[in-house]
Structure 1
Amino acid sequence: MSFSGIRLFKVFGIEVNLDYSWFIAFFLITITLAEGFYPSFYPELPKINYYLVSIVSAITLFISVLLHELSHSLVAMRYGIPVKDIYLFIFGGVALFQDEPKTPSQEFKIAIAGPLMSFFLASLFFTAVYFYPKDDLFNGFLNYVFMVNFFLGAFNLIPAFPLDGGRIFRSILWSKYGILKATEIASKLGNIFGIILILLGIFSLFTGSIVNGIWLSFLGFFIKRASKEALLSTKLNYILSRFRVENVMNVMNPVPADLPLLEFITYERPITRLYPVLLKDGRILFLDTRDLSKIPYYKQEELILNDVVKPIDIYVLPDEKLSRAYSYMRKNNLEEIPVKYNNTFLGILRRSDIEDIISRYLREINESTNHRR
């Protein structure tokens, strides 16, 4: 699932980002608290007081979500699983792991870490609620943060993949059925749970609870979509984990920079978008064959490759996991990427070649499943 937004800061080497949908949630939570929750428990206070504490409450909620996701991330990093980004968005947060856990035990510990953090925060705020004066608006703030952390922990323990409870459930099934079958079962529960939330949302809309109906419906659609994408991601990682970039890359010999462009087009018949070109100083630059359509034919006779090449700073390493390279290419919408080692050009990795491998293995998995039936 893709996110886009604002980079906030780095913590433990993880980039924390604010998805644009977060602002919708911030606005709705602030309005709901300021116009309904706090006035109902602490009436006859100046409206500005309600809005100030509601803004702080909304910010504290997302700090709680961040701590929840950081807990997942730190445990994952302890097991050598890279975590590049955390995104805070309208329905909470997500930590983007670059690899799947290697064992059911790792999966369980990574998944349980988030709810445990939420319950820990809930216990801290519950203790503060107990000792703070009951008739003060700040006690209402403490109550709210206690409740949302408890709800965050409890909701995530529902065994619907990809919620934390679904991942815990998958870790239990993993040992018996293997990761693919376990993920399929947990993903089906996630899909069912999403449908239930959608139906509850529709029921709420018809009974007059419009805000709850909208929230439940959107949350249901999100979980339904996320369960499907998480299943696909697991299959991709499972298939590609046995390959390295060097197993799939296209080894290519650079062509000299002084080669006439028209001769290159006529005789080389390039099959890749990126073509390595060797400069006289030993550097490798690249010709993007898509750029050729922008050059008029009469100018092509006057140009050499040196006139149309450009540097490409991004690359992958030959011993890098193919699953990680493919994830990077998908995220950045790249069809091809150079492969380098110690600044030495080795070849071109093509996304289409990776997807051919995926298609072949998915077909074999389906045929094997149908044969067993």
Structure 2
Amino acid sequence: MNSSYKIGSIMGIPIKVHITFLFILPIFALVFATNPQPYGFADIGSPAITYGLSLLTTILLFVCVLLHELGHSYIAKSYGVEIKDITLMLLGGVSSMEEIPREPSQEFKMAFAGPLVSLIIGFGLLGLNIATSSLISSYSTTWLYLMVNILATINIILALFNLIPAFPMDGGRILRSMFAKRMSYIKATHYAASVGKMFAFMMALIGVVSNLWLLLIAFFVYIGASEEDKSTTVTVSLERYKVGDIMSKDVISVEPEMTVEELSHFMFENKHLGYPVIKSNSLKGIVTFTDIRNVMPHERYAVLVSDVMTKDVVTLPSSASAAEAFKVMTINNIGRVLVMDDDIVKGILSRTDLMRSLMLLTE
């Protein structure tokens, strides 16, 4: 089931809405509708006006979040980074980038661009309210003043929150870019992640005694710092090696006419959970344990490998980097890729092969 839906495109970047966004939209609107001035519209008029203004403010808030992400994307695109899409979801917006720039100055500018956009929007709206209220004395009691004030305040808070020096916030990437000027990228990530974990620990302590939401944010920050540290170590370490250096060249294949029952015994004997399906030296697909485990035992004698195999096979050339293989496996949620040169299967690379190589590299 598709969980994100495209609603448009800006700067050639697909803009998507995640299904969780549809859940958070009425919740935000309810918060604005049930709080009085200056944080909501509960006492501004009839229920229809109150909820209408609340919903409009929520939509404009997420437009601001979109502009925040477009700030990141604009700078990233200027450095040649491919932006696959921007998705609005439960916790805000996410720019799906091909990779984060490794050049410290580039990462700094890209990371800071989002908070800068939010600060410009926030202080710009505050300035608009101040300038207008000085001209019209009654303006401070109008719904427009309230809406502008709410959006300004949230944008400033959003910018300041994102500048906290902890992954996965923008401040974590800013801090890493500063460390990376004086040390390796892996070390810079490790130190930045450590600072982020320290902030998470302090937020958790405060959250336990004062605010459970802060405790939840602390957990989110700690996990984000740990994942960034781990993924960066894996990616950078594997970049030095080619797929052809660590793949298994002894490829065991099966034929499409084999029954699922025969394949299950074949898997048990050969101790592998995935095999390319080849006939007459031509790749037909790939079959894994996941493909056959849903076939009922009494049907396995009649069902063929060709009936359950995956025909859309993910492949890589032997010249690709091991880091690219890791990224492909992660994105496609698969445990192995076939290595092909000139339409000929040269080997197979599993996630286990990558992790084994990583262990040897880091010893």
* Cross-structure match for 1:90: 90
Measure, in 2, the Cα distance between the counterparts of 1:40 and 1:164. 26
Measure, in 1, the Cα distance between the counterparts of 2:300 and 2:269. 19
Post-superposition shift, 1:58?
Answer: 1.4
Task: Say whether residues 1:151 and 2:157 are aligned partners.
Answer: yes
Post-superposition shift, 1:299?
Answer: 7.8
The one-letter code of the counterpart of 1:286 is G
Measure, in 2, the Cα distance between the counterparts of 1:356 and 1:60. 49
Q: Which moved more, 1:254-263 or 1:164-173?
A: 254-263
Post-superposition shift, 1:89?
Answer: 3.3
Post-superposition shift, 1:346?
Answer: 3.9
Cα distance change of structure 1 residues 58 and 344 upon mapping to structure 2, 3 Å threshold: farther
Post-superposition shift, 1:112?
Answer: 1.0
Measure, in 2, the Cα distance between the counterparts of 1:256 and 1:344. 16
Post-superposition shift, 1:285?
Answer: 0.7
Cα distance change of structure 1 residues 240 and 128 upon mapping to structure 2, 3 Å threshold: same
Measure, in 2, the Cα distance between the counterparts of 1:311 and 1:215. 46
Measure, in 1, the Cα distance between the counterparts of 2:227 and 2:157. 25
* Cross-structure match for 1:240: 238
TM-score by length of 1: 0.79
The one-letter code of the counterpart of 2:74 is L
The one-letter code of the counterpart of 1:70 is L
Partner of 2:316: helix, strand, or coil?
coil
Cα distance change of structure 1 residues 197 and 18 upon mapping to structure 2, 3 Å threshold: farther
Q: Which moved more, 1:85-94 or 1:227-236?
A: 85-94
Measure, in 2, the Cα distance between the counterparts of 1:59 and 1:74. 22
Task: Say whether residues 1:328 and 2:324 are aligned partners.
Answer: no
Q: CA RMSD in A?
A: 3.6
Measure, in 2, the Cα distance between the counterparts of 1:52 and 1:140. 14
* Cross-structure match for 2:177: 171
Task: Say whether residues 1:29 and 2:17 are aligned partners.
Answer: no
Q: Which moved more, 1:316-325 or 1:264-273?
A: 264-273
TM-score by length of 2: 0.81
**Unmatched runs of 5 consecutive residues or more in structure 2:** 134-138
Measure, in 1, the Cα distance between the counterparts of 2:107 and 2:263. 55
The one-letter code of the counterpart of 2:32 is L
The one-letter code of the counterpart of 2:162 is N
Post-superposition shift, 1:258?
Answer: 8.5
Partner of 2:93: helix, strand, or coil?
strand
Instruction: State whether residues 274 and 286 of structure 2, in contact with CA within 8 Å, keep that contact through their aligned partners in structure 1.
Output: yes
Cα distance change of structure 1 residues 344 and 47 upon mapping to structure 2, 3 Å threshold: same
- CA offsets per residue over residues 247-268 of structure 1, 9 Å max, x none? 3333466869588776997799
Cα distance change of structure 1 residues 131 and 277 upon mapping to structure 2, 3 Å threshold: same
- CA offsets per residue over residues 132-174 of structure 1, 9 Å max, x none? 6333101111111111111111221222233212211211111
Measure, in 2, the Cα distance between the counterparts of 1:65 and 1:267. 49
Instruction: State whether residues 158 and 165 of structure 1, in contact with CA within 8 Å, keep that contact through their aligned partners in structure 2.
Output: yes
* Cross-structure match for 1:207: none
1:180 paired residue among 182, 186, 191: 186
Aligned residue-pair number: 350
The one-letter code of the counterpart of 1:137 is W
* Cross-structure match for 1:111: 111
The one-letter code of the counterpart of 2:218 is G
> For 1:165-244, what aligned pairs fall within 5 Å after superposition?
165-204=171-210, 213-244=211-242
Measure, in 1, the Cα distance between the counterparts of 2:217 and 2:254. 56
- CA offsets per residue over residues 307-352 of structure 1, 9 Å max, x none? 8765234333444443233123124321122234565544322111
Instruction: State whether residues 17 and 88 of structure 1, in contact with CA within 8 Å, keep that contact through their aligned partners in structure 2.
Output: yes
* Cross-structure match for 2:5: 7
Instruction: State whether residues 14 and 84 of structure 2, in contact with CA within 8 Å, keep that contact through their aligned partners in structure 1.
Output: yes
Post-superposition shift, 1:224?
Answer: 1.5
Post-superposition shift, 1:276?
Answer: 3.5
The one-letter code of the counterpart of 2:170 is D
The one-letter code of the counterpart of 2:57 is S
Post-superposition shift, 1:24?
Answer: 5.1
- CA offsets per residue over residues 87-128 of structure 1, 9 Å max, x none? 433332332333232211121111111111112222432343
Cα distance change of structure 1 residues 140 and 256 upon mapping to structure 2, 3 Å threshold: closer
Cα distance change of structure 1 residues 134 and 312 upon mapping to structure 2, 3 Å threshold: same
* Cross-structure match for 2:74: 74
Post-superposition shift, 1:179?
Answer: 1.6
The one-letter code of the counterpart of 2:68 is H
Post-superposition shift, 1:17?
Answer: 4.0
Q: Which moved more, 1:165-174 or 1:241-250?
A: 241-250
Give the percent of matched residue pairs that are identical in Structure 1 and Structure 2: 28
Cα distance change of structure 1 residues 35 and 295 upon mapping to structure 2, 3 Å threshold: closer
Instruction: State whether residues 254 and 277 of structure 1, in contact with CA within 8 Å, keep that contact through their aligned partners in structure 2.
Output: no
Partner of 2:35: helix, strand, or coil?
helix
The one-letter code of the counterpart of 2:147 is F
Measure, in 2, the Cα distance between the counterparts of 1:259 and 1:201. 60
* Cross-structure match for 1:370: none
Cα distance change of structure 1 residues 312 and 35 upon mapping to structure 2, 3 Å threshold: same
Measure, in 2, the Cα distance between the counterparts of 1:169 and 1:235. 17
Partner of 1:250: helix, strand, or coil?
coil
Partner of 1:177: helix, strand, or coil?
coil
* Cross-structure match for 1:125: 125
Q: Which moved more, 1:138-147 or 1:344-353?
A: 344-353
Cα distance change of structure 1 residues 122 and 318 upon mapping to structure 2, 3 Å threshold: farther
